[in-house]
């Protein structure tokens, strides 16, 4: 498996925000989003066993977040089963354009069909829908028919303090008007960790 990096931190976003997690970032993506700032291209080949050994360095942390790039390009049920055998809870962060392997415990989907052609959803089940919000011009009706356990709306970080304040205020307004959504902040950026 092509692994970009494995590191231990706190989950910064979404439902498990603040929870210690081992992040396994797999290399490669099937999309080219215009705003993508994830450096996932470089990699080293790992066997499933080598990934497990790396994850186990941070035992007893149980939460393992498989991310990317697009992790569904590579993730297999065999690796998920191996992690389960060692008491891990396996979450994935996906763009939702590819089928998932079986056994994943928590599916976080951040759809990209608003930004990329051919980014339609292929998932049967989503635990956490995560949408990056740009402000009140954004068409949120695109997400009306997507079923999930939790709906997380994340203000877009555009790298400008005034604009970020406006987007945050409009995100809060939207959530107050549509209370099935909850606020997701990139807390790792706020507190200066990975
Ligand atoms: S799906 Fe994610 S990793 Fe892939 S190009 Fe888009 S933002 Fe980047």
Task: Give the model confidence (pLDDT) of 13-35 as tens digits.
Answer: 999 999 999 999 999 999 998 87
Residues 6+ apart with CB under 8 A from 24: 3, 6, 51, 54, 55, 64, 65, 66, 67, 71
**Residue 52, phi then psi, degrees to nearest 5:** -60, -45
pTM comes to 0.94
Residue 78 pLDDT: 98
Check pocket membership of 69 for ligand 1, CB cut-off 6 A: yes
Q: Mind listing the pLDDT tens digit for each residue in 104-140?
A: 999 999 999 878 888 999 998 999 999 999 999 899 9
Residue 194 pLDDT: 86
Residues 6+ apart with CB under 8 A from 104: 66, 75, 80, 90, 91, 92
Return the CATH number of the domain spanning residue range 2-190. 3.20.20.70
Q: Rounded CA gap, 68 and 54, in Å?
A: 17
Check pocket membership of 93 for ligand 1, CB cut-off 6 A: no
* Site of tokens 């706020």: 190
Pairing of strands 44-45, 2-10: antiparallel
Q: Rounded CA gap, 19 and 61, in Å?
A: 9
Q: Mind listing the pLDDT tens digit for each residue in 36-86?
A: 888 899 999 999 999 999 999 999 999 999 999 999 999 999 999 999 999
More reliable by pLDDT, 51 or 159 = 51
Listed ranges 116-120, 138-142, 156-160, 177-181; the one with the highest mean pLDDT: 177-181
Q: Which of 13, 70, 93, 128 is catalytic?
A: 93
The answer on pLDDT for 94 being more than 90 is yes
The residue among 113, 132, 21 whose CA lies nearest residue 67 is: 21
How is residue 19 written in tokens? 């929870």
Domain boundaries, the chain: 2-190
Residue 25 pLDDT: 98
Q: Which of 13, 29, 67, 128 is catalytic?
A: 29
């Amino acid at each position: 498996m092509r692994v970009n990096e494995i590191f231990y931190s706190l989950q910064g976003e979404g439902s498990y925000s603040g929870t210690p997690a081992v992040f396994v970032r797999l290399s490669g993506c099937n999309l080219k989003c215009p705003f993508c700032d994830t450096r996932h291209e470089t990699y080293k080949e790992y066997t499933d066993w080598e990934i497990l050994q790396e994850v186990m360095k941070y035992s007893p942390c149980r939460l393992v977040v498989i991310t990317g790039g697009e992790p569904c390009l590579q993730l297999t049920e065999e690796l998920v089963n191996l992690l389960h055998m060692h008491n891990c809870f396996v979450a994935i962060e996906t763009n939702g354009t590819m089928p998932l392997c079986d056994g994943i415990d928590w599916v976080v989907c951040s759809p990209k069909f608003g930004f990329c052609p051919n980014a339609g959803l292929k998932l049967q089940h989503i635990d956490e829908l995560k949408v990056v919000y740009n402000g009140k011009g954004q068409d949120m009706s695109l997400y009306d028919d997507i079923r999930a356990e939790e709906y997380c709306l994340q203000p877009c970080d555009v790298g400008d303090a005034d604009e970020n304040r406006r987007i945050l205020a409009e995100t809060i307004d939207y959530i107050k008007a549509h209370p099935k959504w909850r606020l997701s902040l990139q807390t790792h950026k706020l507190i200066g960790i990975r």
